[in-house]
């Protein structure tokens, strides 16, 4: 990947990672393992700070129910997005995800403040 030199700058101080992929492309299923390894495990971020989005293109007959991902990806929150059929559902999932990230950030900040005080 041409952009690998930029990755450390992208990762610096990040609080969450959203990986969007096309579940109908076998190559994408392999690539998301690499993205997860680089951007989540090596940081390290918690699995709860990562969101997987299987994006189904308009008109694709994607079988959304039976997408089985290998370990460790199968531990991550996975949502299916199909903006033709259910954009509101996707929006709600994103809001839930952002709320959980804010909670983690607040907890980390409180922990840091307590360690400074004590």
Question: Which range marks the domain in which residue 25 is found?
Answer: 4-117
pLDDT for 64: 58
On whether the pTM is more than 0.85, the answer is no
Q: How far apart are CA 7 and CA 56, in angstroms?
A: 27
pLDDT tens, position by position, for the chain (118 residues)?
567 788 888 888 889 999 999 998 888 888 999 999 999 998 889 999 999 999 988 777 655 556 888 889 999 999 998 877 778 889 999 999 999 999 999 999 999 999 998 7
Q: What is the CATH number of the domain that holds 27?
A: 3.40.50
Contact between 50 and 36 under an 8 Å Cβ cutoff? The reply is yes
Residue pair 56/70 in contact (Cβ under 8 Å)? The answer is no
pLDDT of residue 62: 55
Dihedral angle computed from the Cα positions of residues 41, 1, 60 and 90, in that order, rounded to the nearest 10 degrees: 40
| Burial degree of 77 (CB within 10 A; 0-12, 13-18, 19+) | middle
Cα separation, 21 vs 97, whole angstroms: 17
- Number of domains into which the chain is organized: 1
């Amino acid at each position: 990947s041409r952009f690998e030199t930029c990755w450390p700058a992208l990762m610096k101080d990040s609080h969450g990672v959203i990986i969007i992929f096309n579940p109908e492309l076998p190559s994408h299923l392999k690539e998301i393992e690499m993205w997860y390894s680089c951007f989540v495990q090596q940081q390290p971020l918690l699995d709860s700070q990562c969101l997987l989005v299987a994006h189904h293109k308009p008109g694709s007959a994607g079988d959304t129910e039976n997408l089985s991902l290998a370990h460790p990806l199968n531990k991550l929150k996975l949502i299916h997005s199909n903006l033709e059929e259910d954009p509101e559902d996707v929006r709600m999932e994103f809001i839930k995800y952002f709320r959980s990230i804010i909670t983690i950030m607040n907890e980390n900040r409180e922990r840091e403040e307590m360690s400074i005080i004590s």
